[in-house]
Amino acid sequence: MSKHKNCEGSTRRDCLQLGLHTLFAGGLVGGLQMRALAGNTDKKENSKPIKRQAKACILIWLDGGPTHYETFDPKPDAPAEIRGKFDPIKTKVKGLAYSQHMKRLAAIADKTTIVRSIKHNQGNHGAGNHYMMTGAPPRIPVGCGAFVSFHPSLGSVTAKEVGAPHGMPAYFSMPRMSRSGGPNFLGAQYAPFVVPDDPNRSSFRVRDVSLPSDLTGERYLGRRSIRKGIDQLQRINDERAGDPVVAMDKFYQQGHQIITSKEAQQAFDIHQEPGKTRDKFGRNPFGQRALLARRLVEAGVPFVTLYEGGWDHHVDIFPALNKRLPGFDATIATLIEDLDERGMLDDTLVVVLGEFGRTPKINSRGGRDHWSNAMSVLFAGGGTPGGQVVGATDRKGYAAIENVLSPENFVSTIYTKLGIDPGKIAYTPEGRPVHLVSDPKPIRELMG
């Protein structure tokens, strides 16, 4: 697994010590038990019906803050210290230009929409991540390296409101959970199922959804039969006795459902994919995770986050992007084309973003710093009209100046497309009412 450091100096791997991403690390049944202990926030609440445009969302999170200049918002008329070293290229959409390494995405620009006018005031990683992942600004000042949760994330809300069939978890994150990608007051049952292993390896298997190699299916069923017989004892089968074994039964039952689910096993078996398809996605961890995300969506999972770190380019941004952008461009374009060829793009929303953009002026170390006044976000599928640009930044890319939008608008768009009312009121375990999004207005141009 690659390690990507941001400017705070800690790796994403260091942050993993903080918890929810390892929901299943202690075993599947233990994770399911944690879910139940987290409490129940369900409550009847008036919520307007929303016409669902997308069955699923694949959110590709570029942690660190990807540059808008060198991707989807080049500024060829700006001074050299702003426009940088990459040239603009034409796209399939007349009058629309991308930066030079976005060749594959430029060729399918008619299938995508670029939003150039989302901005906010949280210029460090922790706060920016929280705002874009939840639609809620942090309640207190948050440090750059903070791993915080003041509000449920997009994936957790989707898991609660939409759910998944066949015993599948409804929210996956690969290869780790984003800093603010957790459930907060919704409870651990809506935390992401993290798949940390590299699907590019021939030995790839998903922990806790496959039987141990020394336990055959026949032995497993035999053990389960013995346990079922023991559970017929009146003491254990009497819920009024308060025996904890009764409560544990449902966790084992859910675990059994995932392990024995044909759909789950097929979704995780990426080796079933033709070699040609795997080659197109890229024989690298990011490419194969994108392919696995498509397989999970095929199996009915409504929300998958692909976490791709290493976009905090304070130093030597151009050599770094010369190496990284061609493969990134190819994988994203392949994912969109693959979904389209399978008839899945119409109801699968693909979103690509990070916590903010990068500074207009190239610094003395040949990099760009944090900049929350401007950023570019790519949308494709899920009923999104293609071939358009929403909003604009000024000539030098300093700030969004046309059709200025907020993280609240961004999050509300995803919820609305998934059939979730962004204005819905949820309740904490203490009974405190909380709006999913304070400004529930989606981005009109993306709604079709």
DSSP 181-219: -S-GGG-GGGS-EE--S-TTSTT---TTSS--TTS-HHH
Is residue 434 a part of any domain in this protein? yes
- State the Cα–Cα distance between residues 392 and 239, nearest whole angstrom: 61
CB atoms within 10 A of CB 356: 28
Is residue 225 a part of any domain in this protein? yes
Is residue 2 a part of any domain in this protein? no
Is residue 412 a part of any domain in this protein? yes
Structure-block tokens of residue 374: 């401007």
Phi-psi region of 60 (alpha: psi -120 to 50; beta: other; left: phi over 0): beta
Measured in degrees and rounded to the nearest 5, phi and psi for residue 248 equal: -70, -25
Residue 25 belongs to domain with CATH number: 3.40.720.10
Q: Which residues of 303-321 are buried (b: 16+ CB within 10 A; e: fewer)?
A: bbbbbbbbbbbbeebeebb
Q: Where are the strands (E) in 360-432, listed by range?
A: 370-371, 377-380, 388-390, 392-393, 400-402, 425-427
Give the orientation angle of helix 154-161 with respect to helix 407-417, to 10 degrees. Answer: 30
Sign of CA dihedral 315, 316, 322, 323: negative
Is residue 1 a part of any domain in this protein? no
Is residue 5 a part of any domain in this protein? no
Structural domain that includes position 296: 12-38+54-446
Residues 307 and 61 sit within 8 Å (Cβ to Cβ):
yes
How many domains is the chain partitioned into structurally?
1
CA distances from 346 to 54, 417, 448 (A): 7, 11, 11
Q: Identify which of 12, 326, 350, 342 has the alpha carbon closest to the alpha carbon of residue 194.
A: 12
Give the pLDDT confidence score for residue 206 in this predicted structure. 82
List per-residue pLDDT tens for the chain, 448 residues long: 446 667 866 554 444 433 334 344 344 555 555 444 444 555 545 566 788 999 999 999 999 999 999 999 999 999 999 999 999 999 999 999 999 999 999 999 999 999 999 999 999 999 999 999 999 998 776 767 667 789 999 999 999 999 999 888 999 999 999 999 999 999 988 999 999 999 999 999 886 665 555 555 555 555 555 555 555 554 444 444 444 444 445 445 555 666 777 888 889 999 999 999 999 999 999 999 999 999 999 999 999 999 999 999 999 999 999 999 999 999 999 999 999 999 999 999 999 999 999 999 999 999 999 999 999 999 999 999 999 999 999 999 999 999 999 999 999 999 999 999 999 999 999 999 999 999 999 999 999 8
Q: Identify which of 377, 355, 369 has the alpha carbon closest to the alpha carbon of residue 445.
A: 377
Is residue 43 a part of any domain in this protein? no
DSSP 214-275: TS-HHHHHHHHHHHHHHTTSHHHH-GGGT-HHHHHHHHHHHHHHHHT-HHHHHHH-GGGS-H
Is residue 414 a part of any domain in this protein? yes
